[in-house]
Structure 1
Amino acid sequence: MPCRKMGKHKGRRNEMNGKHAIYRVYQALCAGMLSLFPAGRQTLVQGDGCITRIPELLKTHGIKGVQVITTPGTIRRGTVAPLLAQCEDAGIRTVLYTGVSPDPTVAEVDAAAECFFVSGCEAILAIGGGSVIDCAKVAGARTVRRDLPVRKMSGMLKIHKKLPLLLAVPTTAGTGSEVTLAAVITDETCNYKHAVMDYCLIPRYAFLDPGLSCSLPPDMTAYSGMDAMTHAVEAYCNRFCSPKMKAHAMKAVSLIGANLLTAYREPANKAARMNMLTGSYEAGIAFTNAYVGYVHAIAHGIGGLYHVPHGEANAILLPKVLAAYGSAVYEPLARLEREVRAAWGKPEREVRTSVAEDGSREETDAVLAEAFIERIRRMNRSMGIPEQLAMLRKEDVPELAARALKEGNPNYPVPVIWEEEQMRAFLMEQVPK
């Protein structure tokens, strides 16, 4: 009996090793294809007041009617009223669609697409956070693929068709949706979040105007900023992340780490807001090419089941997942820690050191990695972000694990591949005692 039992476990390990090897081959091939794939051209416009250039740009494209997708709050604050007036003065008809919720749904996407058709618009202008831009991207896809419902767009490269002219104006610094190929849409009938990814979803123009984010509430500043941080850190730690993408991710981590608390404490600080927008944009470039990981895969399930803000879920999960990866992320996190000290400063408390052969003190990768993870924990605490997933229920763990693995494997080139057993064990550790 003991021999048969041992053989069973050995066979299972071999099976897992074989499956993981296939995953890695698939991920390596995807990484190679990404470097060759024609991602399309995007024009970035940035600076205080840069959105005033939109009417002129629309005219150069011969646009006579533009659908403006935003939220009632954005309209209520009067943020975009001058821009809408400028469009009308330029002879460009504007049609508002404001039916976007914090977790945009399939019904909202379809309604936006129908509004586009009925109104006879020729372009889409998304002004808002990631929810608005995600809704606009997939609504644009539905206008050219009326035969393809959102659930069938879920996954990689399912659309294969050029969208109407799409302009994105982020009012938060978090999702990086203005530069990414991804959008997340919730199926309200089953609380499932569809991650839709296709190069045609990358907006043709992105406008980074810091003045638009100065009215952002502190909690939204915190959640969106940590969402961007998670994009950058996960991309940097992933397998097959190219040196070019690592540079984008490193720049994002440095900018976000140096500016997030300032933006949180001083909402009207335009320099900090601009740096946050730039950091989010850089993180978007990085994860479009190097992907995210299990933090996002789990967070999407948490958001779908419990309606927790995506950035908050990411912020809580990021230090926990990084710690669970263990030695697989010591080296990349150590590099991040060394780099960001120039921007963030040294740790508040002394990190442990070891004695090198020549008698000098040295900081090992393990020590530096823990110092970086502690920075994330400390930043969360400084912004009042909870340390635990208080809403997580034990009975939901199997469903959350299944959703995370369906999204993550084999798509995300994570540092360590988890199977159902490891994913469930990790989630059980997060259930409030």
Structure 2
Amino acid sequence: MENKSYETYARVYQGILRQAVKFLNWKPPLCLRGAGMLEILPKTLKVRNYNKVLIVTDEGIRKAGLMDGLLDGLKSQGIEYFIYDGTVPNPTDENTVEAAAMFNAHQCDAIIGFGGGSPLDCAKGAAVMAEAGHENIRQYHGLLKVRRKLPPVIAVPTTAGTGSEGTIATVITDTENKTKYAIMDPALRPEIVVLDATLTTGLPREITAHTGMDAVSHVVEAYINQSNTKATRSMAEEAIRLIFQNLPEAYHNGKNKKARDNMQYGAYLAGRTFTRGYVGNIHAMAHQIGAKYPVTHGEANAVIMPYVLEEYGPVIHEDLARLSDAAGISEAGETVEEKAQAFISSIRDLNASLGIRETILEIEEDDLDEMVDYSFAEANPLYPVPVIFTKGKFRDMYLKVKNGPQSD
């Protein structure tokens, strides 16, 4: 399949899809933004007649007490709640089935995803599996496979990066095969999003760094892809400005609520951007690294990003130059190529300032065949990337990510 005829097929597929998705419902979630907004959520749920809710989170969030105010508010509104805290990093198909079983057993009205990207994705997966009548979530892998109304999902992110609160996607890990796959359908868009920066002020630096760079990768991949709209480009430019201006401050001074608020909003905009513009080859690689090795998704994206952007070459220079302008990196008199190169260098510099490494040594060459196959299958023909990678190119990129620039 590594030939021109397949590339032609992929571009035709993407072109047809680009026209078809114009008819989908792209209405954004109700966004409650601001410090203390979590206190508003129980009243909002009561108004919508949600009297029983399942909260999907993880054990660390529950033990940290971040949900205590929400739980008190639910009690005050007479809303009964049940908690599923079994979500693991890179949530699994088993997690979604377990959470859905709890939702059904208690006849809940809505699902609250509370936490980082893993609980949010698990909450979406649980919504898919609620009352599904089977335990095979993999059958929904891909685009527009759900095709039915789901229980409402309320997203309360406690990090700033995954963007899941603003997307129509969830990423699930196949327990048996240790691979990741995405489910994409407008039915997965959360009904309500709560962006309360006070939930993120205690984040460790490493999580701040990894999730922040995850948001950068969302903006970059969506912006350079071929399915953008005027609205998504505008959101991407605003998101990259907010992230570049606030991520270093959020990393070094985590108590700065303004920086945390701007990062949350930037990550949310990035999520809305890539839910329409898609991600690309960077994510197709990162998903497989995260499924096989103890590497966070954000860190994998951060490391992979400059290698892939360099590989794309001049075809993305104009887009990167515009992102460079939006991020405040460009200098007067620079050419498009110089701005693009400066933007790629800024990614490496930002990684270094956030303590993110340049390579992922955990990658095992014995795993490459499988990882290459899954990455190619995820990216093609769906992702409207600027350059379609062959399987051989994916292999080359994995080796660069493992060995560094010297592998050229």
TM-score by length of 1: 0.90
Partner of 2:78: 91
In the alignment, the residues of structure 1 paired with residue 162 and residue 288 of structure 2 have an alpha-carbon distance, to the nearest angstrom, of 17
Partner of 1:220: 207
Letter of the structure 2 residue corresponding to residue 396 of structure 1:
D
Partner of 1:197: 184
User: Which of residues 335, 340, 347 in structure 2 aligns to 1:369?
Assistant: 340
Any idea what the Cα deviations from partners look like across 1:42-64, whole Å, max 9, x if unmatched? 21111100011111111112122
Partner of 1:351: none
Partner of 1:421: 392
Q: Which stretch has the larger CA shift, 289-298 or 187-196?
A: 187-196
User: Which of residues 175, 187, 190 in structure 1 aligns to 2:174?
Assistant: 187
Letter of the structure 2 residue corresponding to residue 164 of structure 1:
P
In the alignment, the residues of structure 2 paired with residue 89 and residue 397 of structure 1 have an alpha-carbon distance, to the nearest angstrom, of 53
Partner of 1:56: 43
User: Which of residues 391, 396, 406 in structure 1 aligns to 2:362?
Assistant: 391
In the alignment, structure 1 segments of 5+ residues that lack a partner are 1-11, 348-360
Partner of 1:332: 319
SS of match in other structure, 2:361: coil
Partner of 2:127: 140
Let me know the Cα RMSD of the aligned residues: 1.6
Partner of 1:155: 142
In the alignment, the residues of structure 2 paired with residue 190 and residue 168 of structure 1 have an alpha-carbon distance, to the nearest angstrom, of 28
Any idea what the Cα deviations from partners look like across 1:148-206, whole Å, max 9, x if unmatched? 62111111111111111211110011111011011111111110112111110001000
Mapped contact 2:120–2:164 kept (Cα < 8 A): yes
Letter of the structure 2 residue corresponding to residue 431 of structure 1:
K
Give the drift of 1:377: 0.2
Partner of 1:5: none
Mapped contact 1:334–1:372 kept (Cα < 8 A): yes
Any idea what the Cα deviations from partners look like across 1:46-96, whole Å, max 9, x if unmatched? 110001111111111212211111122222221111220121121111111
SS of match in other structure, 1:391: coil
In the alignment, the residues of structure 1 paired with residue 27 and residue 386 of structure 2 have an alpha-carbon distance, to the nearest angstrom, of 29
SS of match in other structure, 2:81: strand
Partner of 2:64: 77
Mapped contact 1:145–1:159 kept (Cα < 8 A): no
Give the drift of 1:41: 5.2
Greater gyration radius: 1
SS of match in other structure, 2:3: helix
Q: CA distance change for structure 1 residues 38 and 148 in 2, over 3 Å: closer, same or farther? A: farther
Determine whether 1:310 maps to 2:297.
yes
In the alignment, the residues of structure 2 paired with residue 28 and residue 346 of structure 1 have an alpha-carbon distance, to the nearest angstrom, of 32
In the alignment, the residues of structure 2 paired with residue 237 and residue 326 of structure 1 have an alpha-carbon distance, to the nearest angstrom, of 12
Partner of 1:278: 265
SS of match in other structure, 1:63: coil
Give the drift of 1:429: 2.9
SS of match in other structure, 2:111: strand
In the alignment, the residues of structure 1 paired with residue 27 and residue 314 of structure 2 have an alpha-carbon distance, to the nearest angstrom, of 37
User: Which of residues 124, 139, 156 in structure 1 aligns to 2:111?
Assistant: 124
Q: Which stretch has the larger CA shift, 400-409 or 33-42?
A: 33-42
Partner of 1:237: 224
Determine whether 1:300 maps to 2:280.
no
User: Which of residues 287, 307, 310 in structure 2 aligns to 1:320?
Assistant: 307
In the alignment, the residues of structure 1 paired with residue 78 and residue 173 of structure 2 have an alpha-carbon distance, to the nearest angstrom, of 36
Partner of 1:7: none
| Percent of aligned pairs sharing the same letter | 39
Determine whether 1:410 maps to 2:373.
no
User: Which of residues 158, 162, 166 in structure 2 aligns to 1:175?
Assistant: 162
Any idea what the Cα deviations from partners look like across 1:211-235, whole Å, max 9, x if unmatched? 0011111100000000010000000
Any idea what the Cα deviations from partners look like across 1:115-139, whole Å, max 9, x if unmatched? 1111221111111111001000010
Any idea what the Cα deviations from partners look like across 1:269-288, whole Å, max 9, x if unmatched? 11001100111111111100
User: Which of residues 100, 120, 126 in structure 2 aligns to 1:113?
Assistant: 100
Partner of 1:357: none
In the alignment, the residues of structure 1 paired with residue 28 and residue 232 of structure 2 have an alpha-carbon distance, to the nearest angstrom, of 17
Give the drift of 1:362: 4.4
In the alignment, the residues of structure 2 paired with residue 126 and residue 425 of structure 1 have an alpha-carbon distance, to the nearest angstrom, of 37
In the alignment, the residues of structure 2 paired with residue 50 and residue 66 of structure 1 have an alpha-carbon distance, to the nearest angstrom, of 18
Partner of 2:372: 401
Any idea what the Cα deviations from partners look like across 1:308-330, whole Å, max 9, x if unmatched? 10000000001110001111111
In the alignment, the residues of structure 1 paired with residue 228 and residue 330 of structure 2 have an alpha-carbon distance, to the nearest angstrom, of 27
Give the drift of 1:338: 2.1
Partner of 1:358: none
State the number of aligned residues.
Answer: 404
Give the drift of 1:346: 5.5
Give the drift of 1:20: 1.2
In the alignment, structure 2 segments of 5+ residues that lack a partner are none
In the alignment, the residues of structure 1 paired with residue 353 and residue 177 of structure 2 have an alpha-carbon distance, to the nearest angstrom, of 35
Any idea what the Cα deviations from partners look like across 1:333-370, whole Å, max 9, x if unmatched? 111112222xxx567xxxxxxxxxxxxx9422222111
Mapped contact 2:31–2:194 kept (Cα < 8 A): yes
Mapped contact 2:156–2:194 kept (Cα < 8 A): yes
Letter of the structure 1 residue corresponding to residue 115 of structure 2:
G
Mapped contact 2:159–2:200 kept (Cα < 8 A): yes
Mapped contact 1:394–1:431 kept (Cα < 8 A): no
TM-score by length of 2: 0.96
Give the drift of 1:32: 1.8
Q: CA distance change for structure 1 residues 248 and 216 in 2, over 3 Å: closer, same or farther? A: same
Give the drift of 1:146: 2.6
In the alignment, the residues of structure 1 paired with residue 163 and residue 368 of structure 2 have an alpha-carbon distance, to the nearest angstrom, of 29
